Amino acid sequence: MLITAIEPRRKSLRALYLDGELAVNIDAQTLLSSRFQVGTEITDEELHELLAASDANRAKEKALYLIAHRDHSKKELVDKIRRTASQEAAEKAVDRMEEIGLIDDRDYARRYASELFQRKYFARKRVEYELKQKGIDPDFIEELLEELEPEPVGQIGALVERKYLRALDDERGRRRTVAALQRLGYRWEDIRRALKEYEIPEG
């Protein structure tokens, strides 16, 4: 097959035309580092190798871009990279990021759980759910929760003081407060105990 044209595409891609027809998109960096150019012959095997190299490079670049903007879990990173690269390339890129210390699921999970408990006032149940969504190992989640979970009644009290105290003046506000606390993962038993501190009637 003869490379008859190479045209720019968005996101640093190049369209490769073979024998006059559009064939594939290759990332510019991979193409520039190869020997292929307009007028060069390329075999099926060479094209496959070029595509694999492009896929791997795009996955690596995407991983570095995402990590530079914020922390990610392994699962989260793989899922995002898969939007622009294959599953295999995404997993290999993320494994490499882990090998060189750019991502660490245990460290990420600890900081993320601390943020959810301390800044967002999530309850244990909600934090557990969020960590599972990030692909964190269930055994480590349980270990973290045992270590980091604040006393729930005190946590509810702190949140009420910070955000919901004025809402407790009427029945409608109390119901909204209870609903909001339940969405954060708190059990009704803990909510009831916490609200008793404010002499709020049950029901």
Q: What pTM does this model have?
A: 0.79
110: region left, alpha or beta (phi > 0 left; psi from -120 to 50 alpha): alpha
Query: Residues for the chain: how many in total?
Result: 203
Does residue 50 sit in the same domain as residue 8?
Answer: yes
Residue 199 pLDDT grade (very low, low, confident, very high; cuts 50, 70, 90):
low
State the pLDDT at residue 12: 85
Does residue 123 sit in the same domain as residue 54?
Answer: no
pLDDT for 196 beyond 60: yes
Does residue 73 sit in the same domain as residue 9?
Answer: yes
86-122 burial, b if ≥16 CB within 10 A, otherwise e? beebbbbbbeebeeeebbebeebbbebbeebbeeebb
Does residue 27 sit in the same domain as residue 73?
Answer: yes
Judge whether 202 lies within some domain. Answer: no
Judge whether 57 lies within some domain. Answer: yes
Judge whether 158 lies within some domain. Answer: yes
Does residue 67 sit in the same domain as residue 126?
Answer: no
Q: Residue 43: phi, psi to the nearest 5?
A: -90, 170
CATH of residue 58's domain is 1.10.10.10
Judge whether 68 lies within some domain. Answer: yes
Judge whether 203 lies within some domain. Answer: no
Strand partners, 14: 8, 26
Does residue 95 sit in the same domain as residue 12?
Answer: yes
Taking residues 9-37, what's their average pLDDT? 89
State the pLDDT at residue 203: 46
Tell me the three state secondary structure of residue 8. Answer: strand
Does residue 41 sit in the same domain as residue 81?
Answer: yes
Domain that holds residue 139: 105-148
Does residue 134 sit in the same domain as residue 50?
Answer: no
Does residue 88 sit in the same domain as residue 126?
Answer: no
Q: What is the DSSP string of 146-161?
A: HHHPPPHHHHHHHHII
Does residue 90 sit in the same domain as residue 163?
Answer: no
179 neighbors 191 (Cβ within 8 angstroms): no
Judge whether 91 lies within some domain. Answer: yes
Judge whether 156 lies within some domain. Answer: yes
Q: Rounded distance, CA 187 to CA 192, Å?
A: 9
Judge whether 27 lies within some domain. Answer: yes
Of 4, 50, 1, give the one whose Cα is nearest residue 30.
50
pLDDT for 75 beyond 60: yes
Does residue 67 sit in the same domain as residue 130?
Answer: no
What is the count of structural domains for the chain? 3
pLDDT for 4 beyond 60: yes
91-138, pLDDT tens digit by residue? 999 999 999 999 999 999 999 999 999 999 999 999 999 999 999 999
Does residue 119 sit in the same domain as residue 156?
Answer: no
Residue 169 pLDDT grade (very low, low, confident, very high; cuts 50, 70, 90):
confident
Residue type present at position 189: E
Q: How many CA atoms lie within 13 A of 53 on its CB side?
A: 14
